[in-house]
Chain A
């Protein structure tokens, strides 16, 4: 028993180590463009200083190393206009043509597949909680573009949940298969290169929220649906680089009102950052999602979270392979609350674009 506890303890430390490894890497990746600019700016400033000094000297002329025909005066002029020129911005384009989508808690990072009338994603995920419960999900996401700026998508999840329930003092296995909550989303692309997107998603209560197994109403996390309408608003910015892409985003989620059995999913705010690197036909990626809840979830009218549990982070590693017709992605993530690891998620996704 003790050995089992130690093993669990070691296991629970693993995701933190993973997180510690991913966090600095992401932070460094996010700083690359800034560092590039600072370096270039410093080089230019050093050169300008050299120009000033040489001009100040009697008979000072064109400093060594300047491009042929390059007059220092113009460089000084540009230096003073630096802030104005910088305000043009540098949104990408002509780059990796990155594709992202989220379904079933699975964030697709990579090239994806484009060009068809109907984009199809099938995502299989296994979510394992440390207390032994687990959930298998097969989500199908169908999406299509409406013109150049709008797109529509629907996600239908099929779930297979497993939990040990206390049935009149006896612990028993409970299984619950079925369709979850249907999600519909509309996305507006923004900006001249469509690098920004705003997505409104609405979930309809199509999955059972009050399923009973072994004489017990299953806990909220093992139900197939929430029982109420929910909605979320996501802003995302995709920035492409020569080496790959970075995705910055945030989601405001509203899980709906309390449902008929007294379960309630609290509103939340998430921020995320993902980076994908082009490696031949593969795109390895890493990401981090930070989520805070505005209040506690409730289960049968009872508050289920303490203050520390209302904040969670999810480090994710992914690997995508794509061709013109098919993309495959493997993803591994873990959810960490402030106190402990809550769950592991492994996912396999297939993506194509039909017709």
Chain B
């Protein structure tokens, strides 16, 4: 009995010690084979849409930005180094990418609201040397051809990239209904009147802030709120459904929902099958395509084996097409689509 007792204790300590010795960073992973069916589905997508997808991947070490065609072909690494590059967003003309970069080495996405750990950079969508555009900032998006918006913990700022002038748009410590919450992934509505936000810290909600009426509409739980490009509708990730997450969407009137919506009414996309833990949704500028990443196991945004998907809006969920087949972490895709006959700086 004594021996058993000691063995149990020793086994426990050794196992946990060995596990703890492993780093929390994601692995670089390996490329998996793509079967014929997936290849055919990707080819179908390629015939329907032209453009570029950018995303953040751990396949070359700490996360770097990669681009590929909407059919998953022509993968190209566009940033390098030991920093963590993530949350890439195409400029309105698709020529530049705004992204969040850690100041130094590996930083967890859980620390995204610790703005002192991050800076914002832009890089040409065909690669090149990144340029720092804002310090101590994260969650950057474009609000105009030369204007960006980003978050610094409880504050949201806009910045004119031409003049370099920053302007405070919202401070949650000065709005009682926001309760001093950390403001995550701010997204301006197409008409510039409403700000979609994920609150963390003092509040955990998703919702929309009316920049004119200065009121907050709590639209749901979950995270990662996105506007439809036409405005008047948002979508976000809710921890429910197949695989433990799904996309919800509701219409808005102004910056508020007109009424309360039922669970069934809010359900927007939940792909069938085992790889259905969906996160990081982003619609194309024309609103016709949705990209996101999904994992089959695990949840941690920057560690688990997420893969990038694309879906033609309005088609059956089963037609969602998987674009990446790599066991590294692939997250936060964005898609820039070309109108037929258009040209793109990155080239196709």
Could you tell me which A residues sit within 8 Å of B by CB distance?
Answer: 33, 36-37, 39-41, 43-45, 47-48, 65-71, 74-75, 77-79, 81-82, 85, 88, 90-97, 111, 113-116, 124, 126, 134, 136, 148, 162, 192-194, 240-242, 278, 280-282, 319, 321, 323-325, 328, 330, 346, 348, 353
Evaluate contact between B174 and A114: CB separation under 8 angstroms: no
Evaluate contact between B180 and A43: CB separation under 8 angstroms: yes
Q: Which one, B76-84, B140-148, B217-225, B340-348, is touching chain A? A: B217-225
Total residue contacts A-B, CB cutoff 8 A: 185
Which residue of chain A is the closest to B297 with respect to CB atoms?
A115
| Most A-side CB within 10 Å, residue of B23, B174, B212, B220 | B174
Bound complex: CA of A323 vs CA of B296, how far in Å? 13
Chain B residue numbers with a CB within 8 Å of A148 are 240-242
Interface bits B202-221 vs A (CB < 8 Å: 1, else 0): 11110000011111101011
Q: A75-B175, A193-B222 are in contact. List 9 more A-B contacts (CB 8 A).
A: A47-B174, A68-B167, A70-B214, A74-B213, A114-B298, A115-B243, A134-B5, A148-B240, A328-B16
Given known A-B contacts A41-B176, A43-B180, A114-B298, A67 and B203 have beta carbons under 8 A apart: no
Bound complex: CA of A269 vs CA of B148, how far in Å? 56
Q: Which one, B7-15, B38-46, B124-132, B285-293, is touching chain A? A: B7-15
Evaluate contact between B8 and A282: CB separation under 8 angstroms: no
Chain A residue numbers with a CB within 8 Å of B296 are 115
For the complex, is B24 an interface residue (Cβ under 8 Å from A)? Answer: yes
Could you tell me which B residues sit within 8 Å of A by CB distance?
Answer: 1, 4-5, 8-9, 11-13, 15-16, 19-20, 22-24, 108, 110, 113, 167-171, 173-177, 179-182, 198, 200-205, 211-216, 218, 220-224, 237-245, 263, 274, 277, 279, 295-300, 304-305
Evaluate contact between B239 and A281: CB separation under 8 angstroms: no
Bound complex: CA of A16 vs CA of B113, how far in Å? 39
Chain A residue numbers with a CB within 8 Å of B239 are 93-95, 97, 193-194
Evaluate contact between B299 and A111: CB separation under 8 angstroms: yes
Choose from B15, B110, B241 the contact partner of A278 (Cβ within 8 Å). Answer: B110
Chain B residue numbers with a CB within 8 Å of A44 are 173-176, 179-180
Evaluate contact between A71 and B214: CB separation under 8 angstroms: yes
Chain B residue numbers with a CB within 8 Å of A325 are 297
Chain A residue numbers with a CB within 8 Å of B182 are 242
CB<8 Å pairs between A and B, sample of 8:
A39-B202, A44-B174, A69-B211, A94-B221, A111-B300, A114-B277, A194-B239, A240-B204
Choose from A41, A114, A328 the contact partner of B244 (Cβ within 8 Å). Answer: A114
Q: How far is the CB of B289 from chain A (nearest CB, A)?
A: 23
Evaluate contact between B16 and A136: CB separation under 8 angstroms: no
Which residue of chain A is the closest to B199 with respect to CB atoms?
A90
Evaluate contact between A346 and B174: CB separation under 8 angstroms: no
Chain A residue numbers with a CB within 8 Å of B108 are 280
| Most A-side CB within 10 Å, residue of B4, B179, B200 | B179
Which residue of chain A is the closest to B245 with respect to CB atoms?
A94
User: Which 10 A-B pairs have CB atoms at the shortest separation, nearest pair first?
Assistant: A280-B24, A94-B223, A40-B180, A115-B297, A97-B299, A321-B19, A44-B176, A74-B214, A40-B179, A324-B298
Evaluate contact between A346 and B9: CB separation under 8 angstroms: yes
Bound complex: CA of A45 vs CA of B173, how far in Å? 11
Choose from A92, A93, A194, A321 the contact partner of B20 (Cβ within 8 Å). Answer: A321
Bound complex: CA of A30 vs CA of B150, how far in Å? 32
Q: How far is the CB of A162 from chain B (nearest CB, A)?
A: 6
Chain A residue numbers with a CB within 8 Å of B279 are 94
Evaluate contact between A281 and B176: CB separation under 8 angstroms: no
Choose from B216, B223, B243, B263 the contact partner of A192 (Cβ within 8 Å). Answer: B263
Evaluate contact between A242 and B110: CB separation under 8 angstroms: yes
Bound complex: CA of A36 vs CA of B178, how far in Å? 12
Given known A-B contacts A74-B213, A85-B216, A134-B1, A94 and B222 have beta carbons under 8 A apart: yes
Evaluate contact between A78 and B177: CB separation under 8 angstroms: yes
Chain A residue numbers with a CB within 8 Å of B238 are 93, 192-193
